[in-house]
Amino acid sequence: MSGGYFSFDNYKIDEVAERVERLLHAALNGHFDDDDRYSSWEKKLIANAPTELKSTFNDAVICLKKAAVYAHRIDWLLSGDDGEESFLKRLKEQLNEIDKGKN
């Protein structure tokens, strides 16, 4: 088992990113894939979201994904699963994937 320095709480950042991304997807498409998952307040907010709000959600998703990568990589480094060199290499690769839209 790898990691564990942060008691695997770093994965919660991924979950937040995924939830915000689902809300953004709903805002861009004008409908909710899983209608029961969202409150009426969320539905109303997203249905009427102006472009600036949608753009801010997109920025948030990118920031959260990057935060998750940092937390994961640091977790592995501090747990002894990565050394300095592999930490820096993997961090750079994963951040580049997010910047290219692959993650």
Buried b (16+ CB within 10 A) or exposed e, 43-52: eeebeebeee
Q: Report whether pLDDT(1) > 70.
A: no
* CA atoms of 67 and 9, how far apart (whole Å): 12
- pLDDT score, position 7: 86
- pTM for this one? 0.85
Query: Could you give the percent of the chain with pLDDT greater than 70?
Result: 93
**Spans of all domains in the chain:** 11-99
Q: Tell me how far CA of residue 40 lies from CA of 21, 25, 43, 44, in angstroms.
A: 18, 17, 5, 6
